Amino acid sequence: MTNAPAQSGSGIAARAAAASAPPYLRALNPEQRAAVETLDGPLLVLAGAGTGKTRVLTTRLAHILAQRKAWPGEILAVTFTNKAAREMKERIGGLIGGMVEGMTWLGTFHSIGVKMLRRHAELVGLKSDFSILDTDDQLRLLKQLIQAEGIDEKRWPARQLAAHIDGWKNRGLTPDKVPAGEGAAYANGKGAQLYRDYQARLKVLNAVDFGDLLLESLRLFQENPDVLAGYQKKFRYMLVDEYQDTNVAQYLWLRLLAQGHRNICCVGDDDQSIYGWRGAEVDNILRFEKDFPGACVIRLESNYRSTPHILGAASGLIAHNEGRLGKTLRTDQNAGEKVRVRGHWDGDEEASAIGEDIEQAQRAGTSLEEVAILVRASFQMRAFEDRFITLGLPYRVVGGPRFYERAEIRDALAYLKVTMSPDNDLAFERIINVPKRGIGDNSVQKIHAIARATGTSLHRAALDIVQTEELPNKARKALADLLASFARWRTQVDTLPHTEVAEIILDESGYTEMHQQDKDPKAPSRLENLKELVRSMNEFETMEGFLEHIALVMDVEQSGEQEEKASIMTLHAAKGLEFDTVFLPGWEEGLFPHQRALDESGKAGLEEERRLAYVGITRARKACTISFAQNRRVHAMWQTALPSRFVDELPASHVDVDAMSSSYGGYNLGGADRFGGSRFDDFKPFNSGYNTPGWKRAQARHADGSALRSSPHIIEGTLTTSDAGATSYARGDRVFHQKFGPGTVTHVDGNKLSISFDKAGDKRVLDSFVSRA
């Protein structure tokens, strides 16, 4: 921006305005201030990295409230991550005080979706206490459906189907809207049908998956104009953070809501769109002006974060992308250090070198809190962890293996879920035989069969079956005990504090004991995790509140850390953060850009990878070190890699190549006279036009994959089509039972029959297990 700052703006009016402006506006630059004060009508704020985006968002919110344009409850503010939502809440709280509490509609797309769906559950075929499946539940469910269809799971992995379904949901496609060609892409045309089955099953389970939180909210609006109109009227102002990451479903949802007051403000940066694989459409931001006619667009281009060299390197890199709106970031800081580029012999050496750098920085007075290592893929983290442990360098892994995804936590949660809502079949199935209590696959299958035949939940079916002799004695006893325990725990929920009940459940179920007996070296840490789980429940009023929270926030809040630590995280997790010193290791072809991104999305994939690189560099305030290794251990084998093409694309004037790295000698950067020529001349194994050989490979794979075996063989399933709905049996009827053989009905009690079997004697069985003889 070449204009003078607003404070010295021309005219008396401007000065008067400045003088009377509320204090929170004074600290803003002119563009930021415009973004805050342009309240009415659609507004797109293109906020480059480090240009004070969050500040603008929060100030804008405070401004709306201060101007009494709307009540807190009339503002819809959506973010993508819980972290962002939390941060925004805190910062607004700092500006407007207790009023934040009234901001009920500030949250992630998903959490707002849940809130709306719970209110109007019956309109989309759910009950308001529906449960939310995570990826693991989703996968297990899909596996069951795939098996029921008799499809070979090896050939058509459930993961793949899950990916398809996710993709459709992200694009706002219900099963009937899936394009025929795409539905056929999975399991010889069964994809769309499986999607339909899956959705039907979810409804029966009274459950939704992550994608549904958006898709079903969207459907709610599309099919219920009155509901939509209500929300349109309610939300006087709408704010959307990270708009470049919205997918089609979210976009449609926003657009419907914005038809009301039309005061929608979207903030984003097309250069930081890194979630294309999750369905994000950069296009949404690119065509904002078309979608919202008369929209105002404001660019924030003053960078307050990084030094010119860092900014220059990042800008030069991202300039290689074609599909972008384009912007020029400026900074008035002093030049600072150039971005360092360093090569290493292998990944271990890279880790050692970075470890030394960090120690040196630490001695020079840098706080470890200001140091971050940003990796492309999480497997890279290990080398650093190993190294830092031997160095005694404190570190923290951000967003690593998630707390709530650990098996022991999920098991414990399943217990709690069944206690709270017994009909949660997936949770029930998960723990029915954990710890081992003698209820094996066969017994579970039987319970399943009854549940299916009678159209009830597994829990109800289990209650029925224990009154019979269908199950082996051991299993029957175990199941009856388990059911009695759940009944008992349920009553305790009302009388005892929820953390206490949780402890009782884990204890009495034998779950804790199972881990105490376990001789696995990791067992103690699992027990520790269970304790942590109970501890974290303390922050919630009720068990329900706790379970709702973790369904959406898959992470546990890191609290009360005293020690300073260096951060290790993925580039994706780093978005929105900043550090004085940033290390970007692993810039090698195949890893970064990742081969799979190239294979699956070709040029679009490459450009997304480049944006990821851009995000990485722009996290740095003062120092940025990029490195690559010639050799890296991938599985068990060593693989040689070439430096990333991104290294080449960094503008020479902002980069320092450090050839002094210890055993770097073997790696000849630029031929014999590497200081003479252009630094990376001999590195260029790729043409400037990106051809992606992997893409062809992927196609070839696809081709032979689907062509090989002609058709999936169909396993004749024993479909239990019982006479559930038909007339019940009567006393004296002759019946046949798979296991006990022929017999005569002696007594009828609902769906439970007492039968005198010719060979096996008197037994009680469920009607769904016998047929008329």
Partner DNA sequence: GTCCTAAATTTTTTT
Partner DNA sequence: AATTTAGGAC
* Residues that bind DNA in the complex, under the rule CB under 7 A: 80-82, 108-111, 135, 153-154, 157, 210, 274, 277-278, 376-379, 399, 407, 433, 436-443, 472, 474-475, 552, 554-555, 570, 572-573, 594, 596-597, 600, 605, 634-636
Give min distance, CB of 108 to DNA, in A. 4
Can 241 be counted among the known catalytic residues? yes
Largest CA distance in the chain: 105
* Complex with DNA: residue 42 or 107, whichever CB lies closer: 107
* Complex with DNA: residue 41 or 440, whichever CB lies closer: 440
Residue by residue, DSSP assigns 46-81 as EE-TTS-HHHHHHHHHHHHHHTTSS-GGGEEEEESS
Give the Cβ contact number of residue 433 at 10 Å: 18
Can 242 be counted among the known catalytic residues? yes
Catalytic residue among 619, 621, 645, 679: 619
Compute the distance between CA of residue 32 and CA of residue 24 in angstroms, rounded to an integer.
12
Residue 211 tokens read as 């994608």
Catalytic residue among 38, 54, 135, 499: 54
* Complex with DNA: residue 102 or 167, whichever CB lies closer: 167
Classify residue 660 by its DSSP letter. Answer: -
Can 520 be counted among the known catalytic residues? no
Can 272 be counted among the known catalytic residues? yes
Spatial neighbors of 467 by CB under 8 A, at least 6 apart, are 752, 764
Give min distance, CB of 400 to DNA, in A. 9
* Complex with DNA: residue 111 or 315, whichever CB lies closer: 111
How far apart are the two ends of the chain, measured CA to CA in Å?
Answer: 89
Compute the distance between CA of residue 248 and CA of residue 725 in angstroms, rounded to an integer.
43
Can 53 be counted among the known catalytic residues? yes
The H or E element spanning position 318 is helix 308-318
Give the Cβ contact number of residue 707 at 10 Å: 8
Bridge partners (DSSP) listed for residue 742: 736
Give min distance, CB of 137 to DNA, in A. 12
Give min distance, CB of 79 to DNA, in A. 9
Give min distance, CB of 505 to DNA, in A. 20
Catalytic residue among 241, 281, 408, 429: 241
Catalytic residue among 74, 134, 212, 242: 242
Q: In what order do the strands lie in the sheet with 75-79?
A: 106-108, 75-79, 237-240, 264-268, 43-47, 296-300
* Complex with DNA: residue 110 or 338, whichever CB lies closer: 110
Spatial neighbors of 564 by CB under 8 A, at least 6 apart, are 367, 368, 369, 394
Compute the distance between CA of residue 664 and CA of residue 771 in angstroms, rounded to an integer.
77
Contact 683, 671 (CB under 8 A): no
Buried/exposed 64-90: b ≥16 CB within 10 Å, e otherwise: bbeeeebebebbbbbbbbbbbbbebbe
Give min distance, CB of 134 to DNA, in A. 7
Compute the distance between CA of residue 24 and CA of residue 200 in angstroms, rounded to an integer.
51
* Complex with DNA: residue 26 or 474, whichever CB lies closer: 474
* Complex with DNA: residue 31 or 548, whichever CB lies closer: 548
Classify residue 107 by its DSSP letter. Answer: E
Classify residue 179 by its DSSP letter. Answer: -
Give min distance, CB of 475 to DNA, in A. 5
Can 402 be counted among the known catalytic residues? no
* Complex with DNA: residue 80 or 729, whichever CB lies closer: 80
Give min distance, CB of 441 to DNA, in A. 5
Compute the distance between CA of residue 744 and CA of residue 436 in angstroms, rounded to an integer.
36
| Catalytic positions, written as ranges | 53-54, 241-242, 272, 619
